[in-house]
A and B are shown apart, each in its own frame.
Chain A
Amino acid sequence: MLDQLLKKLIRNAAGQTKFVLAVIGLSTALILILSAVQLQSNYYELLNGKNNQDSIANFLVVNKSLTDQNVGSSSLSEKQLTDLKKQTFTESIGTLTVSRYKASIQSNSQLFPFYTDIAFESVPEEFIDVNTKEWHWDEQALFLPIIVPNQFLDFYNFQYSFSQNLPQLTPQVVKMVSFKVTIQGNGQSYHLNGRVVGFSNRISSMLVPQNFMGWANYKFSSTSTLRQPSRVIIKTKDAGNPELNNYLKKAGLITDADKTRFSRYRQVVDFVVNISGITGLLMFTFALLIFSLFIQLTIASCKEEIELLILIGNSPKNIGRFLMKRFFPPNVFIILIGLISVTIAQYFLANYLISKQVILSPYISLYTILAAILVLIVIAVMNYITIQKYLRLQQRTK
């Protein structure tokens, strides 16, 4: 009741149109800010979410870029390795050990004869993207497990088999075929059975277990000195980190360019987020300013009414409370508009990206909601301070 009478006395000073314009301005600012937060959290979700674990993106095989100057000395120095390990983007680092002996594989079956010289590599198990119980070797083992790059099989199935008039092979068939592996070096040779146990997307070499590599290198290598590795594998949270890209470039290292393609996306995302965020913050500041001018104007234009209200026994606190009730609820409404807009946008974005094989949560992130609450608190504090300040100021200048 009393509020209704107060409402009659204390009118909007600047008119409805300007008020609506200010509301639109503040809503736009809010949508920009919340979108920026949402985009950023979407990006982090893509990087860290379980649904999008892009095995290619998170493991990078790195080697020196080979030029005329460094041919023959492509190994990475100890200093380079420790430096690489120190970088913030590096989670862990594994060296690829190459075989220092001659090796060949040969078919056991007359039906399907083949023979080829090959070379092996090995890498710590944690860096391998094939999960199999058969990845195990010791001197009593019946066969040597080998992991083959997926590209090899593709190359065979879609090019080689046609040209040689050979049958195509599924991964299952290849895994069943046992073949003879021959190792030569130091004037000795050694035969054992080998079998493909998996296909890797991550590392483009023929992989054998690390302990086999150690044993064989020790036994069959002509040089006893350990060589510095020339290729390492890096585990990183974000292969798209521009910092990583820049570091590799500066150190003269290269990796599969495709794997750092996120770097470009990331720069675009950062750019969009920054522009949207900065514009949003600027607009927000101005909108807040306009709103406090509104409050100021209203109080100034109702100076006499407020004075008389206090004279007949209202406390300034009560009038402040009334003004707060008057000016704050539109802000809650604005925040809701902002949150709903971003929610709808997120829903459509998630739906659209599903068709592009990118899985994104269709709901807005917790951070976006927190940002909205934070903005609401800022507005509330700002309104409160303005109201108190101008009520007092007016009484003093009475």
Chain B
Amino acid sequence: MKLTLDQLVPYSLKDKIKNGGSDIWNQLVSFDQGDFIKIEAPSGTGKTTLTHLLYKVRTDYTGRITYGNTVLGLCDEDGLADVRQSHLSIVFQDLRLFPDLSARENIEIKRLLTPQFSSKELVDEMAERLRVSDILDQQMRFCSFGEQQRITIIRALMQPFDWLILDEPFSHLDLGNVQLAATLINEACLQRNAGLIIMGLNKDQYFNYHRELVL
């Protein structure tokens, strides 16, 4: 599913964008299905804003985002729920987990939206690979940020998707764990023939990128 960003300008960054220099803001950009895209975004360029626009958390912008034939801005609540269940997955920078639920419950509440897609065993398998098996039954609020980050990644991989959006997904992981997580994500994307958009402050070699853009 092709992703097209057409002249995106968020209200909050209007003045900054006027100066130009961005590969994305106020440009026409499109990404092909299965592309791995790296977006390098120095602080203050609107990295998290872009994430939110792509996932329709915010709608305060001009321009147009299109997934395949779906114009994101025109989705109603049912359409949006469908997009988020089957076409678009995300790892937020601020994770967005339920602090009162256990790690497993946090994953389950996502998995159960598309239970036919991923099995219960898959959760244990992924937890094993990311070395978080022992905290699965712990309440989320008592887990370290690094652990929470890995739980969020597992949660994002529970559903079918055409695009995976990652907003600084490895910020609190050591190199060894980053390697494990990146491998898992890579596999998941290839299995689905899905594209990936990762936001980061600097250049990196986590994945084999098709394109690298600067925000």
Contact = CB atoms under 8 A, between A and B. Distances in A.
Contacts of B112: 1-2, 5
Contacts of B74: none
Contacts of B85: 313
Given A5-B105, A8-B101, A313-B81, A308 B96 contact: yes
B187 interface: no
B113 A313 contact: yes
B194 to A, nearest CB: 16
Interface stretch (A36-44, A166-174, A251-259, A314-322): A314-322
Contacts of A309: 109
Contact of A311 (B77, B96, B100, B101): B96
B108 A5 contact: yes
Interface residues of B, number: 21
Contacts of A138: none
A6 B112 CA distance: 11
B110 interface: yes
Dominant secondary structure of chain B at its interface with chain A: helix
Interface in B99-148: 100-101, 105, 108-110, 112-113
Contact of A9 (B55, B80, B101): B101
B57 A311 contact: yes
A394 to B, nearest CB: 13
Contacts of A8: 100-101, 105
A6 B55 CA distance: 23
Contacts of A308: 96, 98
Nearest to B77: A316
B78 interface: yes
Contacts of A153: none
Contacts of B113: 2, 312-314
Q: Which of B77, B78, B159 has the most CB of A within 10 A?
A: B77
A305 interface: yes
A310 interface: yes
Interface string B62-97: 000000000000000110111011000000000010
Interface residues of A, number: 18
A308 B85 CA distance: 13
Interface string A1-13: 1100110110000
A312 B110 contact: yes
Interface in A292-345: 305, 308-318
Contacts of A5: 101, 105, 108-109, 112
Nearest to A317: B78
Nearest to B97: A308
A4 B47 CA distance: 36
Dominant secondary structure of chain A at its interface with chain B: helix
A211 to B, nearest CB: 82
B109 A2 contact: yes
A9 B78 contact: no
B140 to A, nearest CB: 12
A9 B108 CA distance: 13
A315 B83 CA distance: 11
Contact of B78 (A1, A6, A311, A315): A315
Contacts of A305: 98
Given A2-B113, A9-B98, A9-B100, A314 B81 contact: yes
A317 B77 contact: yes
B98 to A, nearest CB: 6
Contacts of A317: 77-78, 81
Contacts of B98: 9, 305, 308
Contacts of A316: 77, 81
A260 to B, nearest CB: 65
A313 B77 CA distance: 10
A1 B85 CA distance: 17
Contacts of B57: 311
Interface string A216-260: 000000000000000000000000000000000000000000000
Interface string A342-368: 000000000000000000000000000
B148 to A, nearest CB: 14
A131 to B, nearest CB: 72
A257 B81 CA distance: 75
A6 B155 CA distance: 17
Contacts of B108: 1, 5
A200 B57 CA distance: 88
Contacts of B55: 311
20 contacts: A2-B109, A5-B101, A5-B105, A5-B109, A5-B112, A8-B101, A9-B100, A9-B109, A308-B98, A311-B55, A312-B84, A312-B109, A312-B113, A313-B85, A313-B110, A313-B159, A314-B81, A314-B113, A315-B82, A317-B81
3 nearest A-B pairs in the assembled complex, by CB-CB distance = A315-B81, A313-B84, A313-B85
Given A8-B101, A9-B101, A309-B109, 16 more contacts: A2-B113, A5-B101, A5-B108, A305-B98, A308-B96, A308-B98, A312-B84, A312-B96, A312-B109, A312-B113, A313-B110, A314-B113, A315-B77, A316-B77, A316-B81, A317-B78
Interface of A: 1-2, 5-6, 8-9, 305, 308-318
